[in-house]
Structure 1
Amino acid sequence: MPNVIYRDGSIRQDNWILVARPAEGESLDIPHQPALIPADLWLAGYEHFTGRDDIGVWFDSHDEPEILGGKVNELPVIAVNFPKFSDGRGYSIARLLRERFGFANELRAVGDVLLDQLQFMKRCGFDTYALRPDKDINKAARCLNFFSQGYQAATDTHVPLFRRRAS
């Protein structure tokens, strides 16, 4: 199994399987282990999946977190896919999940996740990071906490640096 980086810089085994969206006409095939399924399919099968702590969801960059509404905290994990490193919509999805919908559980970045993005992802509210397979996870973990302070307010601090210094 692959590893993921946690917010504190630790590296742990990834127990979650990301289940791809089935092709048109095919059914969703969920393995017998913790699985992340497309958010809209979780919602479509809500009565079947509700209360299960082994099923989480993933959003693609074009998905809207509003589809889950008040159900977000029923999920143990929500993953956000970054289809390419230059697609920043996942940052907005993370902030919306944390700030507007109050998601309090694990928020994971998946897809084209690179070392130089981790600090920004952390500030937007991500807890875990599944790096691209060709990247060095040990180097990335060391760089996750490279900066001790952020200038602007974000999910990790609601007061900008100039206000923190003034108090």
Structure 2
Amino acid sequence: MDNYIKDRKVDSNEWMPFTGLEDGDSLPTGDIYVPIEEWLNARETLLTRNGRLGVALRNTDDPAIIKDDLDRLDLVVLEFPKMADGRAFTQARLLRERYGFKGEIRATGDVLYDQLFYMQRCGINGFELRDDQNASHSLRAFDEMTVTYQPASDEELPLWRRQK
């Protein structure tokens, strides 16, 4: 995918979504992520395969549902169904700050230039941009603001408590 940014660089997306694991199916190789329902129904089977593993959450899912599994996961995919729906921002902060997730948190869906800086502040480090967005151009979004006031995943202290 040429509209993918990871860790503030245009990158290739090596992860594949996977659904529909039935009894007796062979497990796919490579790096896959599964919907949360698939994870909850086939967790132990999925953990026996080779390759990295991730889980996709809807923006209505509570990240606490996977908190005990985060050390087994390399990726958590968060859904941004429309620009005006910010629930996945909260999910990202919970994953990073409350549950200590160190892997990739990826934003998918209606991911736009205007949101990238704020998504990064919440702990998101992978971005599947909407098709009409340009990844190379979008890299500028991360440096548009140089001063932040509130604490977030990328800065523990508010501006007034930071002393130089």
Taking structure 2 as the reference length, what is the TM-score of the superposition?
Answer: 0.88
> Partners of 1:125 and 1:75 in 2: how far apart?
16
Task: Indicate yes or no: 2:4 matched with 1:11.
Answer: no
**The residue matched to 1:13 in structure 2 has which SS?**
coil
Does structure 2 conserve the Cα–Cα contact (< 8 Å) formed by 1:4 and 1:14?
A: yes
Cα offset for 1:120? 0.6
**The residue matched to 1:108 in structure 2 has which SS?**
strand
Cα offset for 1:2? 3.6
**The residue matched to 1:134 in structure 2 has which SS?**
coil
> Partners of 1:81 and 1:65 in 2: how far apart?
12
Q: How many aligned positions are there?
A: 161
From 129, 132, 154, give the equivalent of 1:131. 129
Unaligned runs of 5+ in 1: none
Does structure 2 conserve the Cα–Cα contact (< 8 Å) formed by 1:85 and 1:113?
A: yes
Cα offset for 1:77? 0.7
Seq. identity, %:
35
Question: Pairwise CA RMSD of aligned residues?
Answer: 2.2
Residue in 2 that maps onto 1:141: 139
Cα offset for 1:94? 0.5
Taking structure 1 as the reference length, what is the TM-score of the superposition?
Answer: 0.86
Unaligned runs of 5+ in 2: none
Task: Indicate yes or no: 2:118 matched with 1:84.
Answer: no
Cα deviations across residues 93-115 of structure 1 (Å, max 9, x unaligned)? 10111111110111111111010
Q: Which moved more, 1:73-82 or 1:50-59?
A: 50-59
**The residue matched to 2:162 in structure 1 has which SS?**
helix
Does structure 2 conserve the Cα–Cα contact (< 8 Å) formed by 1:53 and 1:75?
A: no
Q: Relative to 1, partners in 2 of residues 1:96 and 1:38: Cα closer, same or farther, differing over 3 Å?
A: same
Residue in 2 that maps onto 1:63: 61
